[in-house]
């Protein structure tokens, strides 16, 4: 009478015990799969929220007069455009999404406007990521909301800007900042208009969330910048940085608390049912002992059953967890929910982890079964 | 076949110690049918478990089929039990989720069940259980369950069957059928040691041993005393 035959015969006989164990296993795998599948959407959502918060670092020339900088919103000093390429060429820095720009205040059509020249975003060599900023083609400009409205300009209009003709490629939505009175153009166009070829006065960037948490993030950024661009300094927009950090921590704490708690509860449930099963099968254990079966064979009966429950639980739990993520994910993650897809790799992981998890949960009851004294059991009436 | 020398067994709890066997010496020859009789708590079942290698005595030596049981490792003793000893219990101890045939084959050593299927069928037929082969224990009468247990004990052609009150839960007719099953094994040169309250086995017994307060009572035994 081989062990698998006994395991499957017992499973068919004690359906309720198996169903209840399976319930615990399915719950554990469902949670695991749901959190990972939805967690992927959560990660994307976090990224999107962070991106929407904007770049939070401003790298400006080191000798910038800060009183004027805060009064006007930009640095009077400039630095070579090459600075951005030097920064991007370094690996291991906590700067990403490098956006070089030249910002100047100019008079245009009887008003003061902020003229901003930007290049397409430059990614450091070890941090290739989708761009967070818009890109402007040479010969085109974007107009701030207030400016476009006051001047009656719309997309496609040809305008003269400081003696050169440009096409309005886009009128930006209302932003509530001085972006609303800004004109955005290609960096090289703007450099030509203000007579500062090859110069920039700011590099905007995003700090990556990979700091040594024991050190202040800004200290690390300043240290890194000093070694690469000693002619520049960095300012961190704290509110944005803290919002990003809080968003990241919230998601991590959420997963770090709920998932282990749920898994412990499921493990306890499966272990409890395995213990009930051992109690129910005391006489069978005693009999097998009397028939000369060793501890390994007895343990294999209980651990084997746990593994079967684990495999079934993995298959059902994967389907259920994925289904729940697909159904309820979009309601939780409004921005990225629609992009939630089944993660079939999790099925493989579940098929490996779930049986191991079930066997681990049933380990103590199995040891209790193995330790049963047949002489005591078989004398019970 | 069985040589038990000066066996004592003391069960200890935190508060007390109970001496279940008190220096028992017993020799059973191959082919004997020995009945052990005694009042409740006299140590009959304890003696049977000690002789079967299931309960280590506090002192004394047990030699079965030339092997000193408690000098063997636990694993070796389990193997020895599987090959040479068959057990029959008062409570039958059939596995509820297996058929009658599978319950009998449960005694087969690992990997040998297919080869013993024919023998299992013969034994079940011999014990009048052929129509019940595919039934589960819950569908059997008490007598049929105990005969299934006897077939299981006989499957491996053991040298010795140890039966602990096998008729304790049976009506007289079923009890007679069960004892007849054990007698059939005895007729094929098997050795039987049977613990019982009743007298139904006396007609087959080579000897009746009386156990009282953990000791073998010497002197004439009145076979009709109980």
Q: Give me the residue spans of the domains in chain A.
A: 3-49+246-377, 57-236
**Chain B neighbors of A17, CB-CB under 8 A:** none
Determine whether the interchain pair B109/A292 forms a contact, defined as Cβ–Cβ distance below 8 Å: yes
DSSP, res B219? S
Q: Who among A9, A291, A380 is closest to B97 (CB)?
A: A9
Three-state DSSP class for residue A201:
coil
Whether B102 has its CB under 8 Å from any CB of chain A: the answer is yes
The reported pLDDT for the residue numbered A295 is 84
- pLDDT of A211 > 60? The answer is no
**pLDDT tens, position by position, A13-47:** 989 988 988 998 898 888 888 877 876 766 666 56
Q: In whole angstroms, give the CA distance from residue A306 to residue A272.
A: 12
> Rounded to 5 degrees, what angle do the CA atoms A313, A319, A322 make?
125
Q: Going by C-beta distance under 8 Å and a sequence separation of 6 or more, which residues neighbour residue A81?
A: A100, A119, A187, A191, A198, A199, A200
The reported pLDDT for the residue numbered A42 is 64
Q: Who among A292, A297, A381 is closest to B81 (CB)?
A: A292
Average pLDDT over residues A40-64: 72
The answer to whether residue B34 is domain-embedded is yes
B48/chain A closest Cα distance in angstroms: 10
Residue B114 structural domain: 2-217
In a mutational test of the B interface, the residue from A15, A379, A380, A381 whose CB has the highest number of chain B CBs within 10 Å is: A379
The reported pLDDT for the residue numbered A45 is 60
A371/chain B closest Cα distance in angstroms: 13
Kindly report the pTM of this predicted structure. 0.65
- pLDDT tier, B225 (very low <50, low <70, confident <90, very high otherwise): very low
More confident residue, B58 or A370: B58
User: With 0-12 CB in 10 A as exposed, 13-18 as middle and 19+ as buried, what is B222?
Assistant: exposed
Q: Who among A283, A287, A292 is closest to B82 (CB)?
A: A292
Sign of CA dihedral A318, A321, A327, A329: negative
Q: Which of A5-9, A267-271, A315-319, B144-148 has the lowest mean pLDDT?
A: A267-271
- Please say whether the beta carbons of B49 and A379 come within 8 A: yes
**pLDDT tens, position by position, B2-55:** 999 999 999 988 888 889 899 999 999 999 999 999 888 889 989 999 999 989
Average pLDDT over chain B, rounded to an integer: 88
The reported pLDDT for the residue numbered B226 is 43
Determine whether the interchain pair A375/B96 forms a contact, defined as Cβ–Cβ distance below 8 Å: no
In a mutational test of the A interface, the residue from B21, B73, B79, B107 whose CB has the highest number of chain A CBs within 10 Å is: B107
Q: Residues in chain B, how many?
A: 226
User: What are A's interface residues with B at a Cβ cutoff of 8 A?
Assistant: 1-2, 6, 9-10, 12-14, 283-284, 286-294, 297, 374-375, 378-381
Determine whether the interchain pair B106/A292 forms a contact, defined as Cβ–Cβ distance below 8 Å: no
Q: In whole angstroms, give the CA distance from residue B112 to residue A210.
A: 62
Both tokens of A112, joined, read: 């003061």
The answer to whether residue B122 is domain-embedded is yes
- Rounded to a whole number of angstroms, the distance between the first and last alpha carbons of chain A is 26
Question: Could you give the ipTM of this predicted complex?
Answer: 0.82
Residue B134 belongs to domain with CATH number: 3.40.50.300
Closest chain A residue to the Cα of B80, Cα to Cα: A292
**Chain B neighbors of A300, CB-CB under 8 A:** none
Closest chain B residue to the Cα of A8, Cα to Cα: B97
The answer to whether residue B226 is domain-embedded is no
In a mutational test of the B interface, the residue from A6, A286, A375 whose CB has the highest number of chain B CBs within 10 Å is: A375
Q: Hey, which residues does B193 pair with through a beta bridge?
A: B34, B162
Average pLDDT over chain A, rounded to an integer: 84
**pLDDT tens, position by position, A345-362:** 888 888 898 888 888 888
Ranges of beta strands (E only) in chain A are 57-61, 79-80, 95-108, 111-118, 140-143, 158-161, 164-171, 182-186, 199-200, 202-207, 232-236
Look at chain B and report how many structural domains it folds into. 1
Q: Who among B79, B82, B93 is closest to A287 (CB)?
A: B93
């Amino acid at each position: 009478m081989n062990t698998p035959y006994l395991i499957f015969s017992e499973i068919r006989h004690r359906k309720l015990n198996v169903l209840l164990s399976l319930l615990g296993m399915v719950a554990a795998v469902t949670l695991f799969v749901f959190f990972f599948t939805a967690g992927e959407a959560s990660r994307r959502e976090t990224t999107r929220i962070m991106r929407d918060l904007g770049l939070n670092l401003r790298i400006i020339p080191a000798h910038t007069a800060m009183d004027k900088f805060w009064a006007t919103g930009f640095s009077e000093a400039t630095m070579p455009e090459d600075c951005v390429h030097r920064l991007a060429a370094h690996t291991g820095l906590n700067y990403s999404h490098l956006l070089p720009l030249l910002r100047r205040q100019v008079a245009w059509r009887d008003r003061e406007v902020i003229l901003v020249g930007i290049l397409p975003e430059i990614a450091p060599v070890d941090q290739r990521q989708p761009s967070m900023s818009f890109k402007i083609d040479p010969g085109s400009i974007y107009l701030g909301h207030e400016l476009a409205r006051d001047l009656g300009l719309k997309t496609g209009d040809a305008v003269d800007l400081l003696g050169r003709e440009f096409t309005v490629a886009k009128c930006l939505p209302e932003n509530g900042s001085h972006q609303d009175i800004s004109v955005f153009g290609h960096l090289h166009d703007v450099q030509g208009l203000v007579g500062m070829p090859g110069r920039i006065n700011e590099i905007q960037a995003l700090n990556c969330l990979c700091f040594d948490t024991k050190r202040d993030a800004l200290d690390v950024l300043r240290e890194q910048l000093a070694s690469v661009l000693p002619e520049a300094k960095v300012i961190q927009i704290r509110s944005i940085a803290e919002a990003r950090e809080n968003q990241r921590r919230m998601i991590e704490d959420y997963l770090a608390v709920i998932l282990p708690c749920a898994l412990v509860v499921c493990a306890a449930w499966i272990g409890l049912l395995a213990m009930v099963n051992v109690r129910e099968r005391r006489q069978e254990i005693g009999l097998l002992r009397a028939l000369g079966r060793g501890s390994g064979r007895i343990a294999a009966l209980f651990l084997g059953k746990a593994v079967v429950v684990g495999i079934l639980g993995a298959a059902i739990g994967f389907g259920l967890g994925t289904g729940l993520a697909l159904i309820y994910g979009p309601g939780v993650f409004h921005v990225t929910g629609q992009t939630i897809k089944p993660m079939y790799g999790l099925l493989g992981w579940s098929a490996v982890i779930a049986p191991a998890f079930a066997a681990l949960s049933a380990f103590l009851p199995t040891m209790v079964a193995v330790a049963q004294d047949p002489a005591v059991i078989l004398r019970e009436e | 076949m069985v040589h038990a020398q000066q066996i004592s067994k003391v069960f200890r709890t935190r508060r007390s110690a109970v001496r279940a066997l008190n220096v028992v010496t017993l020799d059973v020859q191959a082919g004997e049918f020995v009945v052990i009789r005694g009042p409740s708590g006299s140590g009959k079942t304890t003696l049977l478990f000690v002789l079967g290698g299931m309960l280590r005595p506090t002192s004394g030596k047990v030699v079965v089929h030339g092997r000193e049981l408690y000098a063997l490792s636990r694993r070796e003793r389990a193997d020895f039990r599987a090959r040479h000893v068959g057990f029959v219990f008062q409570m039958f101890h059939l596995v509820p989720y297996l058929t009658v045939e599978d319950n009998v084959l449960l005694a087969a050593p690992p990997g040998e069940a297919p080869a013993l299927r024919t023998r299992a069928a013969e034994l079940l037929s011999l014990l009048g259980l052929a129509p019940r082969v595919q039934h589960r224990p819950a569908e059997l009468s008490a007598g049929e369950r105990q005969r299934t247990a006897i077939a299981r004990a006989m499957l491996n052609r053991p040298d010795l069957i140890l039966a602990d009150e096998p008729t304790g839960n049976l009506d007289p007719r079923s009890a007679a059928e069960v004892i007849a099953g054990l007698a059939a094994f005895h007729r094929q040169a098997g050795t039987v040691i049977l613990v019982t309250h009743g007298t139904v086995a006396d007609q087959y017994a080579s000897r009746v041993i009386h156990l009282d307060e953990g000791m073998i009572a010497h002197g004439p035994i009145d076979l009709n005393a109980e």
